[in-house]
A and B are shown apart, each in its own frame.
Chain A
Amino acid sequence: MELSEQDRRLLNQVQQDFPLHPEPFKVLATQLGIPEQEILERLRLFEQENAISRFGAVFNHHQAGASTLAALAVPEEKIEQVAEFVNAFAEVNHNYEREHEFNLWFVVNAPDQHGVERVLNKISAAYPYPLLDLPMVKGYHIDLGFPLW
């Protein structure tokens, strides 16, 4: 969908430090100079268009539980089948095909390390392809949202 200049300002604003005020959209209306109802209508439209994944909290992986970025080197003809198997785990929240020998990249989140390993072991058992398990060592720029320009 095409974004107007106003849409970009609105979407940049709502990604972080969302107002913790009983009527947050009124606060945004003042900050952005856009009427409250127009803001809500626009955001509802984006939600309908699936452009808003959710309105809520992004928790710190390290404090909230365990997580890893994993990659599998899957034969091209099997990738859809393996992706479907991987997606079926509630612990998996991102899963992308990427242009590399390691072509299936997914993030696993669980309450603890044991939960992460359980998922990786099950995937390995079902599809014993080369697997990378790449937990974060340090974050330098951690999910501050996505700047639109």
Chain B
Amino acid sequence: MLIEPPVFRSHEGVLDIMMVATPKLASTIAYTPPGGGQTIHPQAWVFEVCARPSTGLSCPAGSGTVSPYGGVRLALRPGDVLKVRFVNRLPKVDPNKLRHVNDPGEANLYLNPSNLHTHGLLTPARPATRTDPTFGDFVYLTVFNSANGLPAPQSTHQHGPILMDKVDYKITIPANHPSGLFWFHPHVHGIALNQVVQGMSGLITVGEVSDYVRDAGLTPWSETQVRHLMLKEMQVLAAGTVNFDSGPQPVANGEVLNQEDTSFCAQQPASGELRLGACPGQDNSASGGSNFTGGKWFMTVNGQQFPSIPVSPTKGEVWRLATGAGSFSWNLQLVDDKSQKPMTVQLLSIDGVAVNLPQNTPPSVVANLGGAGRFRVAPCKNSQVIGTTVPVCVDQIVMMPSSRVELWVTYRDGHGQVARPPSGASATLKMIGLTMGTGDAWPAVDLAKVLFSVGGAEGLATEPRSTTLTDAVVVGGPADAAGVDAVSGIHATAVPGSTPTALPEGCAPLPLGHRRRVFFGFSDVTVNNTFAMGYEEVDERGRVVPGSQKPAPDQLERFDPAHTTVCLPLGPGQTPVSETWELIQLSTENHNFHMHQVRFAPADSKGRVKQDNILLGVTTPDPSIADRVANNQNGVCTATQWRQGLCASKPVVLEIPFSQLGEFVYHCHILEHEDGGMMARIRVVPSPY
């Protein structure tokens, strides 16, 4: 049965823990090498978590220290302070198996530096000072394990502060922070994919589900009917040879391929093939790729391979789904085992903020919730409008890297109506496969068995068996998608601790009517995987503001932490400031825009949802250049071609409220692309007024 992640809860407003990044065998993953032999538990990289000891950099032995591959949950409340002593005990990596070790300034990546990012939390990206030597959510710092040696000084592209062995974080959760689901993971440019894929991630929750979900009788939703699901994936190799950028390299039985090969498995199972929590490696040598025969790509829920999930037959459950994948995108359906049709579930929250959909919400907004392609909206049968929010149901969910979604899962009959399940009713949570434009083709695998049993234990805890069928839930609360913009919401109130300060050079407010335009593409379209971003400012008439283009007109640049692309001040009175950003895709492969420290809304959603990542569609080259783009430009247009109208790309326009100070980043959250350079530096400073 699916096991909940271990929880560390705040007490009297504080959660003070130590998190040690360390190698550990993933006991919940069992790999049998070809030809039989002893079962191998692959080596994962995990966060070993404990209450912060009074001295030392090790967690004490005992039940208070946990280090599951599936991850832990940090349970916080608005107004809490999260204190983390982060310690790096990761092993060195073979540089021949690292993609970016030869990139400018990245020669130390093989020493396996790491850090911590509290993804989705609306908190300052604060560096350390003499008066407060802790860091906020500051992803530029790197912590090296001194056992691996000291990093050699680099002359360019230095990531940020370099610390040995440990760093102290102090993350203050604002009192008006939305209640919801967030997560944490490392964020060192160039090796983020490797560390996340090898297991380094976990959940953060703020508040309770009952803050924004009630049953039809308006009783706050019980935590006993809440389940947390963290999806992870890991490619485990059979002994042999694998092609890396450095050339063919030997690999051992049970070795984890953390640089990931997206063609590890066939995308769809063969006829009669069962894929329960894993798919078998395939031989790609005929096309010049690696032979993964004998290997396995595990796809787990809370670190478990194909667990069973019993769901209350009368109340259902709230599922809080997150993904700890690096580049992998999930395309999820809950498929009724009898009818083989996708079941409907009710959507409650996106990326940690409960939805708020008034009755006059246009159908087009509902159909494109979270951006085009993120959800397949389905009729919400027998749901009632109780309160202000219209219920929204979906029967297919795309979770690109970093997405979170919260759902009400309960048995529904063949007509989509909430009903009492027949005896033995069950469903399968499936990843049905997903292709990202001309890019990655993610494979189909069954993830879990859901049991809507009429007998057996109800819910997650023993409680008196309810016989009343819950046929609707009500979504909404003071910090939902509308609440964050309301008078006392985090997007409206003055930013704590910010005082009038002269503007640094290069920082200026965006003039009224102007927007920021960001390009997603390659720095050199003739060289594959030169992931990069470009920037320009556009005035109210759609004209590019002279001198605003970075790095240069129609050029894109791979991430250089020394370059700040955008610097903006808060509004007068240190109030949050909202800007319009326009995202332009130059690739025929999907990307996934994410920005730290914010929650944005698609411009056409009128703020009814808030999210922190959004899927970007692909560009369509004109037939006159389609062959050239496909065969000579690695499937990527240039900015010039787009400007000439030769590459059609529907801009994704966002309204982004900036309510947090600090230095942070925006990037594609497909970590292969982020590590490859599709990231840029942004800074928010106090207003001078």
Chain B binds chain A: no
| B contact residues vs A (CB 8 Å cutoff) | none
Query: Interface of A with B (CB < 8 Å)?
Result: none
